[in-house]
Amino acid sequence: MSSTKQLKGRIVKALSGYYYVLPVEEGPSGQTVQCRGRGVFKKKGINPLVGDEVYYSLTENGEGTVEEILPRSSELIRPPVSNIDLAILVFSVTEPTLNLQLLDKFLVHIEHTGIEAVLCLSKQDLEKDGSETKEASEAAAAVNRIYSAIGYEVYGTSSRLGEGVEALHERLQGHLAVFAGQSGVGKSSLLNAIVPGLELETNAISNRLGRGKHTTRHVELIDIGGAYVADTPGFSQLDFAELGIEDLGYCFREMRELSPDCKFRACNHVHEPGCAVLKAVEEGRIEQSRHQHYLLFMAEMKEKKRRY
């Protein structure tokens, strides 16, 4: 441990081997200190992450060295960010078309990390004036019906009209949040609407390809007034590398609640006798689409396991 004075801060950006640390005492509007990590981190295979609370020391040239990383409350591998306590899952009602299977996949990953998830349906103005009005309205109604019943909060927003933006900003207060979701759903536009003058780079979706171009290139914490948001690269591909097959049912809230009532303790909720989850699906207490996606994800995981 170095004898130099140690200061406390948070890594708000990582770029080209440098960590930009915001000193705790300076508050959100303070100046960041450009730091290198200690050589010993590399030797020990420790990787400082955006979101980490750290102790750092100042070097003579006005830069700094990250000396110690404080224990993390959560850690995401992709995007590589720590101490996130709220995930805003952004899905647009149309352009790209709302994909419930992908939505469930994101939710599985977020439930597995133990981070609280909130759903945000963006581009609600397209639902009102677009040519895909009926499809968009039905998609929005389905999400509200299915996911509110399981206990997820659902926010509807339109960055263009400024609708729902204030309510979402309020929900973020006091949190270190991540905005996740498919590329092109309007995450950057939403952040720009929450923080006027932020001007994050946005990219119009390519209708022909049906997907957006990645507009965000590195992870950075953005101060949005009373909260931080990790602006992260849009990603539309998720795999279950970190997740065991036995964890999958736990990541579906409604199945997690019912599984203690199953006849067998290690019930997979596929075709076992006395399965409380299958009974609930049959009786309409668990949404059919959710159980179908659960079976699909399980098959995908088994297939992956077979290949390795």
pLDDT at 226: 87
pLDDT at 210: 40
User: Is there a binding annotation on residue 162?
Assistant: no
User: Is there a binding annotation on residue 197?
Assistant: no
* Distance (Å, whole) CA 224 – CA 169: 8
pLDDT category, 206, cuts 50, 70, 90?
A: very low
- Kindly report the CATH number that applies to the domain delimited by 7-71: 2.40.50.140
User: Is there a binding annotation on residue 185?
Assistant: yes
Name the E strands within the chain: 7-15, 18-23, 33-37, 53-58, 64-69, 75-76, 81-82, 86-92, 116-122, 153-156, 176-180, 220-223, 228-231
Among 181-185, 211-215, 303-307, the minimum mean pLDDT is found in: 211-215
Q: For the chain, what are the domain ranges?
A: 7-71, 81-231, 245-307
User: Is there a binding annotation on residue 62?
Assistant: no
C-alpha distances out from residue 293 to 181, 272, 276, 281, 300, Å: 17, 18, 18, 13, 10
User: Is there a binding annotation on residue 275?
Assistant: yes
Among 27-36, 154-163, 226-235, the minimum mean pLDDT is found in: 226-235
User: Is there a binding annotation on residue 186?
Assistant: yes
List of residues 6+ apart from 41 with CB closer than 8 A: 47, 48, 66, 69
* Distance (Å, whole) CA 170 – CA 133: 29
User: Is there a binding annotation on residue 2?
Assistant: no
pTM of the model as a whole: 0.81
* pLDDT (mean) for 75-88: 86
pLDDT at 127: 53
> Is a pLDDT exceeding 80 seen at residue 163?
yes
* Distance (Å, whole) CA 252 – CA 238: 17
User: Is there a binding annotation on residue 184?
Assistant: yes
pLDDT category, 93, cuts 50, 70, 90?
A: confident
Share of the chain above pLDDT 90, in %: 46
The terminus-to-terminus CA distance of the chain in angstroms comes to: 42
Q: What is the mean pLDDT of the chain?
A: 83
Does CATH place domain 245-307 in 1.10.40.50? yes
Pick the CATH number of 81-231 from 3.40.50.980, 3.40.50.300, 3.40.50.2020, 2.40.160.10: 3.40.50.300
Between 38 and 92, the more confident residue is 38
List of residues 6+ apart from 295 with CB closer than 8 A: 270
* pLDDT (mean) for 219-226: 85
User: Is there a binding annotation on residue 120?
Assistant: no
User: Is there a binding annotation on residue 125?
Assistant: yes
Q: Is 121 exposed, middle or buried (0-12, 13-18, 19+ CB in 10 A)?
A: buried
Residue 273 preceded by cis peptide, ω within 30: no
* pLDDT (mean) for 285-293: 97
pLDDT at 75: 86
**Strand, helix or coil at 250?**
helix
Between 100 and 243, the more confident residue is 100
Q: What tokens does 212 get?
A: 């957006």
List of residues 6+ apart from 237 with CB closer than 8 A: none
User: Is there a binding annotation on residue 262?
Assistant: yes
pLDDT category, 278, cuts 50, 70, 90?
A: very high
